[in-house]
Structure 1
Amino acid sequence: MGWKARANGFFDKAGKAAADSSEQIISLQRVSKRLGNVHVLNDIHLEVGQGECIVLVGRNGSGKSTLLRVLAGMLLPDSGALRKPMHGQMMYALDGLPRLPFTSREYLWEMGRIRGIRPEILRQRIGELSELLFLGAALDQNLPQLSKGTLQKVNLIQALLPGPDGLLLLDEPLSGLDVPAQEAMVDVLRQWKQEGSQIVTACHEPLLIERLADQVIVLQKGTVLRRWSQEDLQQAGEPAVSIQCVMEGQEQSVIDALLAQQPGIIACHRSVACPDHGREVWDLKVSRSSADRIIEMILAAGGSIVSVQPEKSRLQMEGLMEGRHPGETVSRNLAEHTSSISTVGGNLQ
């Protein structure tokens, strides 16, 4: 079994982590840092518990990368205290990867060996992670020949090589990645959280924030402007998924119950009807958490799926970086959804 299968042992690890949780907290207390004449960090307080993900947001020059470097031990604070557990690994993918004179495979091998990973385990992890992030033929290409996005995949893989145990620091991890690789990376980070890893990342991708963040810290000119909890983020509303399906030979009452009366349905209307053939094409908008269940119900009822398309996040990143509450636009969104729902009854008649 590969390292990804270690999730099977999560509950034993979680039980041990619960007993030692107070010893696993990583914290910055009143940390300040100057670079030249610039006060890049000022009186920063941050705590990361086991199994938590902290997301840093802010404009360029707000101090995100410097804060990650302090946590990584690359920079020492001028004042304040940094506390880390005595045990656990430090993993990071910061500031992009230099175009060194190696192939991707050679670079990953050397990074793994430097970390003391046994050859047989290292070979397996390189293979698994390269497949997971769709590195493909680039695994045997020279780093200087790679695109920015592919180079970022190699950078992320080197950070993930040790496996889920310790502190993972990431600077814009989804930047430049294609959508499948972004989804795969978020899934890996979710698993690492479940296994007790601590994650601190600078990121402006709603996908990662919505699915992983326990806390969002908004930085502005080296200071903490706002802190938003997971509950605050949830007030932005859950992203929707658009589903188009075909129903054939079903009674209207069955279609009504299946497509209009299920929890999680935001909007539903019939786009094409062929009465002579008993065939109807339906467009649905559903909450993301309900999408899998509703798709299964459509298939179980003999329907077929034409397309599934995630819609744009409801998180307003521009407002978030300015310190506005994540749920500030929720009233407008609810009004739009209410308007959509009000048409369902008429379309089903």
Structure 2
Amino acid sequence: MGWRASGFFGIAGKTAADSNGRMISLQRVSKRLGDVHVLSDINLEVDQGECIVLVGRNGSGKSTLLRVLAGMLLPESGLLRKPRHGRIMYALDGLPRLPFTSREYLWEMGRIRGMRPEILRQRIGELSEQLFLGTALDQNLSQLSKGTLQKVNLIQALLPGPDGLLLLDEPLSGLDVPAQEAIVALLRQWKQEGSQIVTACHEPLLIERLADQVIVLQKGTVLRRWSQKDLQEAGEPAVSIQSVMEGQEPSVVDAIVEQPGIISCHRSLVRQDYGREVWDWKVSRSSADRIIGMILTVGGSIVSVQPDKSRLNMEDLLEGRHPGESVISVNKEAAEPLSSTSSEGGDLP
């Protein structure tokens, strides 16, 4: 069976896209590389303002699928529809260390896309600041670390601005936490402005905050599809809080324990001579500020806060099982207090 690509070569793709708001559609697309069948009967639809995340182990076909969507590879069979004038932006998994500075490379990539010099100059400056590129903008690509090179890679894909199909292959790989947060926030803005995003990614941060659908690939076939509702059932990312309580009445602590958003809590250590109790809390991210405020209001103090501990079980996700934790225990019973002679007792504040 031959393949057809409506949109690049005809009106049919544009008509389909305009009639149902669909940016791109793959129907039973298959692809061989040599003697290997790397994609088999792939069905995919991306609506405006939608983010689809591809997950799978090495060799599952994620990068090949992105290249087919980008038009870099032609499928052996199946139907591929795209808007006639749809813009495609693509960041490969790894940018070659070309003989340019970051600025020179970004400038050339923008000019290849036909961007006007004044707009291109502004976009390079804005994106470099948003992704904390700093002085690396004028350093040679060959001198950059993996994470900084990835920032340049992402900036070149984002230069045209939101409008079209954005394809990203492991976009958070090698990035530090501030840069990860920045790129996720930027992609969320692009979604709100109607961009279509398809990305291969294994970081729970991006899946939890952006994914409308997760497609699990295994040996070139779709193993499972998870909707946004499925992901929400896995629960919000958790925040771990450790607090010290100054001998409050049990009823005061109980009032906090029973608050919505508490996943689990227990007393980990007690200094009986000072009447201090150390409590370990796990709460949903959306309730963290409220719970911290309640602890402080009743006279407690905060020892530490560890945010964004993911509750997605990526191993389960890769195997096609539900992305939520296999077992989420909610234990709101306080542990037995330790003796004041405990060796850890002297380390408390």
Higher helix share: 1
Structure 1 residue aligned with 2:283: 286
Q: Which structure: larger Rg?
A: 2
Per-residue CA deviations over 1:154-207 (Å, capped at 9, x if unaligned) read 101111111111110000111111122112111111111111111101111111
SS at match of 2:332: helix
AA aligned to 2:232 is: Q
Contact 1:267–1:344 (8 Å) recurs in 2: no
Q: Which deviates the most, 154-163 or 84-93?
A: 84-93
CA distance in 2, matches of 1:261, 1:118: 58
- How far off is 1:303 after superposition? 6.9
CA distance in 2, matches of 1:178, 1:215: 25
Instruction: Give the direction of change, closer, same or farther, for the CA distance of 1:72–1:299 in structure 2 (3 Å limit).
Output: farther
CA distance in 1, matches of 2:303, 2:218: 45
Contact 2:91–2:153 (8 Å) recurs in 1: yes
- How far off is 1:34 after superposition? 1.1
CA distance in 1, matches of 2:274, 2:302: 18
CA distance in 2, matches of 1:235, 1:20: 33
- How far off is 1:250 after superposition? 8.4
SS at match of 2:190: helix
| TM-score, normalization by structure 2 | 0.81
> 151, 169, 172: which is aligned to 1:171?
169
CA distance in 2, matches of 1:248, 1:341: 19
Structure 2 residue aligned with 1:341: 332
- Are 2:95 and 1:97 equivalent residues in the alignment? yes
CA distance in 2, matches of 1:301, 1:122: 54
Instruction: Give the direction of change, closer, same or farther, for the CA distance of 1:83–1:293 in structure 2 (3 Å limit).
Output: farther
Q: Which deviates the most, 89-98 or 234-243?
A: 234-243
- How far off is 1:262 after superposition? 2.4
Within 5 Å, which residues of 2 pair with 1:246-265?
A: 257=255, 259-265=256-262
Structure 2 residue aligned with 1:68: 66
- How far off is 1:317 after superposition? 1.7
Within 5 Å, which residues of 2 pair with 1:97-116?
A: 97-116=95-114
Within 5 Å, which residues of 2 pair with 1:223-302?
A: 223-245=221-243, 257=255, 259-269=256-266, 283-295=280-292
Contact 1:239–1:311 (8 Å) recurs in 2: yes
SS at match of 1:228: strand
Contact 1:264–1:290 (8 Å) recurs in 2: yes
Structure 1 residue aligned with 2:184: 186
Structure 2 residue aligned with 1:35: 33
Instruction: Give the direction of change, closer, same or farther, for the CA distance of 1:191–1:247 in structure 2 (3 Å limit).
Output: farther
CA distance in 2, matches of 1:292, 1:21: 44
Contact 1:247–1:303 (8 Å) recurs in 2: yes
> 299, 313, 320: which is aligned to 2:310?
313
- How far off is 1:270 after superposition? 6.0
Over the residues paired in the alignment, what is the CA RMSD in angstroms?
Answer: 3.0
| TM-score, normalization by structure 1 | 0.81
CA distance in 2, matches of 1:292, 1:235: 22
SS at match of 2:68: helix
CA distance in 2, matches of 1:236, 1:43: 29
AA aligned to 1:324 is: R
Contact 2:268–2:335 (8 Å) recurs in 1: no
AA aligned to 1:239 is: P
CA distance in 1, matches of 2:335, 2:286: 21
Within 5 Å, which residues of 2 pair with 1:41-80?
A: 41-80=39-78
Per-residue CA deviations over 1:275-296 (Å, capped at 9, x if unaligned) read 9999876543211122244345
AA aligned to 2:76 is: D
Q: Which deviates the most, 77-86 or 300-309?
A: 300-309
Instruction: Give the direction of change, closer, same or farther, for the CA distance of 1:251–1:136 in structure 2 (3 Å limit).
Output: farther
Among all aligned residue pairs of Structure 1 and Structure 2, give the percentage whose two residues are the same amino acid. Answer: 83
